[in-house]
Amino acid sequence: MGLRIGYAPGAFDLFHIGHLNVLKHAKSECDYLIAGVVSDEMLERVKGRPPLIPLSERMEIVGSIDFVDKAFAEVVPDKIQVWEELGFNVFFKGDDWKGTPQGQRLEKSFGAVGVEVVYFPYTVHTSSSALRTALELINHSQAPAQRRQGGRR
């Protein structure tokens, strides 16, 4: 069968248990795991807002995980271009993409170059978006008190 080189991309902003589970599960399915950390610019383009944690720090966090063999800064939106640079043969994605038009396009383009697409269960109860919203609510509710105190905490 040969060496299974896996690629698991993600924002990995506000790193949480869902991120850890995806990476751990991905490593169990391959011999060498590359975690793609999506750049600040690409996240802002796709999500319409910048990440809370900058790319350099997200790279440090993800690269420090024992079962991640390499952290890679993903700076282009084209996954085939990333594949051309890295040469992985297994691509990991959350199952929220399975059966969607984006997922079908991904499967078709990777199928044409011999890359297997493997879906993992999406951690519904924990998401960076939910964490970000909670932080924004906390910051918003603390803002009047901070103004009354002259901006000190």
pLDDT in tens, 72-126: 999 999 999 999 999 999 999 988 889 999 999 999 999 999 999 999 886 655 5
- Non-local (6+) Cβ contacts of 73 within 8 A are 36, 37, 39, 55, 59
Q: Phi and psi (nearest 5°) for 71?
A: -100, 135
User: For residue 75, what is the DSSP state?
Assistant: -
Number of neighbouring beta carbons within 10 Å of residue 34: 22
Quickly tell me which residue has 């807002």 as its tokens. Answer: 49
Domain annotation for the chain: domains and CATH numbers: 5-123 (3.40.50.620)
| For residue 148, pLDDT beyond 80 | no
pLDDT band at 153, cuts 50/70/90? very low
pLDDT in tens, 31-88: 999 999 999 999 999 888 889 999 999 999 999 999 999 999 999 999 999 999 999 9
Give pTM, 2 decimals.
0.82
